[in-house]
Amino acid sequence: MPGLLGIECGATHTVALHESGGQVARAGFGPANLRLLDNVQLTRRLRQIAKQFPKPSAVAIGMAGVRTAADKQRLHRAAARAWPSAAIHATNDLETALAADTQHKPANRVLVLSGTGSCCFGQTADGATAKLGGWGHILGDKGSGFEIGLRALKACVFYLDRDDNWSALGQRLLRRLQLNSPDQLIDWVAQADKAEVADLAKDVFAAWSRRDKIAGDILEGAVETLAKDACACARKLTGKTGSVRFLLAGSVLMKQPKFAAKLAKAIRIRRPGSQIATLKNESCWGALNLARRLGKLSPAKPGATINADRPAIPVPGLVQIDQSPTEQRHPRSMQLDRMPLGQAVDLFLDEDSQLPAAIAREKTKTVRVIGWVRDAFQNGGRLFYSGAGTSGRLGVLDASECPPTFRADPEQVQGIIAGGQPALYRSIESAEDDPDAGAEAVRFRGVGKKDVFIGIAASGRTPFVWGGIWEANRRGAKTALLCFNPKLRIPRDNRPDIVIKPDLGPELLTGSTRLKSGTATKMILNMITTLAMAKSGKVIGNLMIDLDPSNTKLRDRAVRIVRQLTQASKAEASYALEQSGWNVKKAAGRLAKR
């Protein structure tokens, strides 16, 4: 039997299915959008796919970015160079999505697509087509993830301007983007690509699930827009009364069933009696079905309020830096540039071996802070870290590791870094000198009485951090400072509740606080979040019962944890996890009831 090849090329990835002798082989490749590839790149991508499979007799390709007849001809020519002896059908990714639907009655079908972008595409039994949208995120994409994300940003700044109020949705978006104030959104959105803006839709849906009114209004508008466009597309095909099967597709509609259900209801109100279904099969199966038709084979089923008037924020004077051990020269490393490498390595290891004893001398205060964080977690509060440079990056790192380790809500532990997101990747050292920016970051994240705020500053002097402490104190949060300057003098009018200040001595490379100070910071943050989570029911013994098994390694770990808790076999533990949505706690509970 001759081989058949169906290819779905999208903005994020490409999937190809090769069928021969009743067997289907699958392979994945990188993204492919016709409008983002020149002819050489397009041919190269298709030949890469061709090398993966035996020669087919028929090839059907649906590619993002194909709009016009000229686009189809260009794609067809490139495909003919890759498969010179095959029959070829070149089209867009909308037709392949429709072809993935295996039900053919009614014959008139309209695809309602909402993902990163959006559009509606209809087709009749005789091949006539109609389309609304697909103009891209600047001219169109109504009801898409991009529009939802962009409308959220616009709504948040609108209410800030009109009511002097930064909303809970705005706080959520700043946390996601690692930005410290709404002003930073101007630069972010100017540089963000379509996918980055669309990714904000996830936060709009999360806010909607918590009854956020702004999010609800945005999504209600998206539903109405999509429903109107879907019915307008159907009218183009069959008039006002013809029978139509609407197929809902795209990541927004596939991953948000409540939203999809609201859209289905809105379509039925406008066009009673319509069939509406979610497209169950991947579009690559539609490409394969088109290849089957091309090869004359029968299609088969695929298996906060803003106040600008505020006093100057008290910050320790510059003399505090001169007095900090982190800025002193280490007598043992005066010849570091000429020291034999082996001796230098021993020196580094010896210095780091002294860190636990120095940290232990601050144990009483560390334990108290951990208790605060535990209580915050148990009472709906959050933990915030704030720092600049290495200190800020370590805070963001610890926060980012809590969701996969403890299945924690990303809002529960948050990192704030001076300079915002760009400072995660490159040095923006001047950002640390603005205490007002530190206060704004706290204000716009909505830090409150239930929360714990920990400023991290190796020398103890960072103005950005002290601005955060000032505002967190003003808002009633528990506050702490982690530094490595035992001589630090705290401003009388801006005192954190606790100062943890281990004496680590000078750095081997004078002033380079990414060394011992960075290592000690990581050790202390590890203790704070791990023990607070453990005392909040996220751990049994020393087992992570709330980890998020998001990859193969973590799923294997989840199986081992369930087996250790229940004495179940590997097969039993795997099955219980699958049935419990890979929730370790639920799976263990299920097995305990046997």
pLDDT digits (tens, 9 = 90+) for 455-494: 999 999 999 999 999 999 999 999 999 999 999 999 999 9
Q: 């409008």: which residue's tokens?
A: 35
Q: What is the pLDDT of residue 588?
A: 87
pLDDT digits (tens, 9 = 90+) for 535-545: 999 998 898 88
Cβ count within 10 A of residue 473: 18
Q: Give me the sign of the Cα torsion angle 217, 220, 226, 231.
A: negative
Residues paired with residue 88 on neighbouring β-strands, in sequence order:
59
Alpha carbon distance 515, 493 (integer Å): 32
The pair of three-digit structure tokens given for residue 109, joined into one six-digit string: 């079908």
401 assigned to active site: yes
Architecture of the domain defined by 541-592: Orthogonal Bundle (1.10)
Q: Which stretches of 341-412 are assigned E, i.e. beta strand?
A: 383-387
Cβ count within 10 A of residue 283: 25
pLDDT digits (tens, 9 = 90+) for 151-194: 999 999 999 999 999 999 999 999 999 999 999 999 999 999 99
Question: What average pLDDT does range 13-30 have in this prediction?
Answer: 92
Residues of the chain with CATH 3.30.420.40: 4-100+282-294, 114-278
Burial status of residue 564 (CB atoms within 10 A of its CB: 0-12, 13-18, 19 or more): middle
The pair of three-digit structure tokens given for residue 300, joined into one six-digit string: 């088969």
Does position 430 have pLDDT exceeding 80, yes or no?
A: no
User: Domain spanning 324-538 has what CATH number?
Assistant: 3.40.50.10490
Buried (b) or exposed (e) across 235-259, using 16+ Cβ within 10 A?
A: bebbeeeeebbbbbbbbbbeebeeb
Residues contacting residue 471 through CB under 8 Å, at least 6 positions apart: 438, 439, 440, 442, 443, 447
Angle at 318 between CA 495 and CA 478, to 5 degrees: 20
H or E element at residue 406: helix 389-406
Give the 3-state secondary structure of residue 258.
helix
Residues of the chain with CATH 3.40.50.10490: 324-538
525 touches 506 (CB < 8 A):
no
H or E element at residue 121: strand 118-123
Q: Distance of CA 35 to CAs 64, 94, 96, 317, 504, Å?
A: 8, 16, 18, 56, 57
Considering 432, 440, 471, 507, which one is annotated as catalytic? 432
Residues of the chain with CATH 1.10.8.1080: 541-592
Residues paired with residue 19 on neighbouring β-strands, in sequence order:
4, 24
| pLDDT band per the 50, 70, 90 thresholds, residue 594 | low
Does position 591 have pLDDT exceeding 90, yes or no?
A: no
Considering 196, 224, 401, 411, which one is annotated as catalytic? 401
Question: What average pLDDT does range 197-203 have in this prediction?
Answer: 96
For the segment(s) 114-278, the CATH number from 3.30.420.270, 3.30.420.40, 2.30.29.30, 3.40.50.2300 is 3.30.420.40
The pair of three-digit structure tokens given for residue 370, joined into one six-digit string: 């951990």
Topology (CATH level 3) of domain 4-100+282-294: Nucleotidyltransferase; domain 5 (3.30.420)
CB-side exposure of 153: number of CA atoms within 13 Å?
Answer: 26
Question: What average pLDDT does range 67-79 have in this prediction?
Answer: 85
Q: What are phi and psi of 295, to 5 degrees?
A: -90, 15
pLDDT digits (tens, 9 = 90+) for 284-332: 999 999 999 888 754 444 443 333 334 589 998 877 777 889 999 999 9
8 assigned to active site: no
Q: What is the pLDDT of residue 429?
A: 59
Q: What is the pLDDT of residue 308?
A: 37
Q: What is the pLDDT of residue 305?
A: 33
396 touches 385 (CB < 8 A):
yes
466 touches 315 (CB < 8 A):
yes
Burial status of residue 436 (CB atoms within 10 A of its CB: 0-12, 13-18, 19 or more): middle
Q: 């046997």: which residue's tokens?
A: 594
Alpha carbon distance 539, 541 (integer Å): 6
Q: What is the pLDDT of residue 299?
A: 45
539-540/543-544 β-pairing = antiparallel
Give the 3-state secondary structure of residue 50.
helix
Q: Give me the sign of the Cα torsion angle 47, 51, 57, 61.
A: negative
Does position 586 have pLDDT exceeding 70, yes or no?
A: yes
Cβ count within 10 A of residue 135: 14
Residue closest to 410 by CA, chosen among 181, 228, 174, 129: 174
Alpha carbon distance 147, 36 (integer Å): 21
Question: What average pLDDT does range 425-450 have in this prediction?
Answer: 89
Written as one letter, the residue type at 89 is H
Alpha carbon distance 509, 505 (integer Å): 12
Lowest mean pLDDT among 158-172, 290-304, 350-364, 382-396: 290-304
- State pTM to two decimals: 0.74
